[in-house]
């Protein structure tokens, strides 16, 4: 049974970083998030692809135990084209082709409707809200967003955030959404909208958690082989949601652990293009790096 529903894009990405290029590779917020979550629980994706989407990727999702019955097939897959300069914290978008997303009518399969956990990856906030409305009684909703949707649909986005328990976004997006350079102020504004917690991802500099009037700062991992940060935000969110769905514990202490698991999976993700590294790692690798994270924090 699907325990965690993951909504977002399943995409074909073309990108360039200072360390190489990739053309039409698997990407999308739901792809990264579901693969990251699959280390902890059984996710099911809700999304749309096109007839041009390679079947091998669907086979891979299924091999990871990810339910794909919520992925419908439209005309053409969502495509994102971008590049990174030496500051790998910021993706520069060259082109976003919404394609089949433009006329997408969200349909959550019956078999997902009793899921208790929901992760809303980057996607049109109007569609994110439709997914929330179609799940019967989720115990918690975690959502992510990004600059594209803040620019295009800010009012709708603020309405959708009000339905979430945990909001995850990055530092630039937090500043942009709440019109302030101060991350603590932005987090406090966001806390007025959600019921539980706000997490601000700071790329290679770690992440901040604001929850129950407490503040936790997760360290960054000293990465030697950084190739492509695409999907780090989504794999952070997916692993965080997967860990919380597995442990069913929304205490502040457990959310701290989830933030570290999110950071662990995101750090692996950046070691290769697309899902190259996530394909290779095992839960044993995650545990090893989780313990390294603990050691980094000790003083």
Least CB distance from residue 214 to ligand AMP, whole Å?
A: 26
CB of 31 or CB of 68, closer to ligand AMP = 31
Tokens of 231: 């999907």
CB of 146 or CB of 194, closer to ligand AMP = 146
Least CB distance from residue 98 to ligand AMP, whole Å?
A: 8
CB of 95 or CB of 212, closer to ligand AMP = 95
CB of 54 or CB of 250, closer to ligand AMP = 54
Q: Which residue has the tokens 């956990």?
A: 117
Least CB distance from residue 12 to ligand AMP, whole Å?
A: 8
CB of 41 or CB of 99, closer to ligand AMP = 99
147 within 8 A of 55, measured Cβ to Cβ: no
CB of 230 or CB of 267, closer to ligand AMP = 230
Least CB distance from residue 279 to ligand AMP, whole Å?
A: 15
E strands in the chain: 4-7, 11-17, 20-27, 43-49, 67-73, 78-83, 92-97, 117-120, 140-144, 166-170, 197-201, 207-211, 214-218
Taking every pair of Cα atoms in the chain, the longest distance, rounded to a whole number of angstroms, is: 55
266 within 8 A of 219, measured Cβ to Cβ: no
50 within 8 A of 75, measured Cβ to Cβ: yes
Which DSSP symbol is given to 103?
Answer: G
Least CB distance from residue 201 to ligand AMP, whole Å?
A: 9
Least CB distance from residue 28 to ligand AMP, whole Å?
A: 4
Tokens of 139: 């115990």
Adjacent-strand bridge partners of 21: 16
- Judged by the rule CB under 6 A, the positions of this chain that interact with ligand AMP are 9, 11, 13, 27-29, 32, 80, 91, 96, 122-123, 146, 148, 230-234
Least CB distance from residue 11 to ligand AMP, whole Å?
A: 3
Q: How far apart are CA 276 and CA 264, in angstroms?
A: 16
CB of 96 or CB of 188, closer to ligand AMP = 96
Residue 28: Cβ within 10 Å count: 28
Strands 20-27 and 43-49: unpaired
165 within 8 A of 136, measured Cβ to Cβ: no
């Amino acid at each position: 049974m699907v325990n965690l529903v993951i909504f977002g894009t399943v995409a074909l990405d073309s990108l360039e970083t200072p360390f190489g290029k990739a053309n039409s590779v698997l990407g999308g917020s739901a792809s990264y998030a579901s693969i990251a979550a699959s280390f902890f629980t059984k996710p099911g994706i809700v999304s749309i692809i096109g007839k041009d989407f390679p079947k091998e990727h669907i086979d891979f999702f299924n091999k990871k135990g990810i339910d794909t019955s919520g992925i419908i097939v439209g005309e053409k897959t969502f495509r994102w084209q971008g590049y990174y300069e030496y500051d790998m914290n910021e993706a520069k978008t060259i082109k976003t082709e919404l394609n089949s997303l433009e006329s997408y009518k969200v349909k959550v399969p019956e078999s997902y409707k009793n899921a208790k956990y929901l992760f809303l990856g980057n996607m049109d906030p109007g569609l994110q809200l439709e997914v929330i409305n179609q799940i019967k009684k989720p115990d918690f909703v975690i959502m992510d967003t990004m600059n594209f949707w803040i620019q295009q649909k800010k009012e709708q986005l603020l309405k959708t955030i009000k339905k979430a328990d945990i909001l995850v976004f990055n530092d630039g997006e937090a500043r942009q959404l709440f019109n302030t350079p101060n991350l603590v102020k932005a987090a406090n504004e966001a806390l007025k909208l959600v019921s539980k917690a706000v997490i601000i991802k700071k790329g290679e500099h770690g992440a901040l958690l604001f929850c129950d009037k407490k503040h936790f700062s997760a360290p960054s991992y000293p990465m030697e082989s950084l190739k492509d940060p695409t999907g780090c935000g989504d794999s952070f969110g997916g692993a965080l949601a997967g860990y919380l769905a597995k442990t069913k514990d929304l205490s502040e202490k457990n959310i701290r652990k989830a933030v570290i698991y999110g950071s662990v999976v995101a750090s692996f993700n950046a070691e290769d293009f697309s899902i190259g590294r996530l394909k290779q790692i095992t839960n044993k690798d995650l545990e090893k790096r989780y313990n390294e994270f603990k050691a980094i924090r000790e003083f």
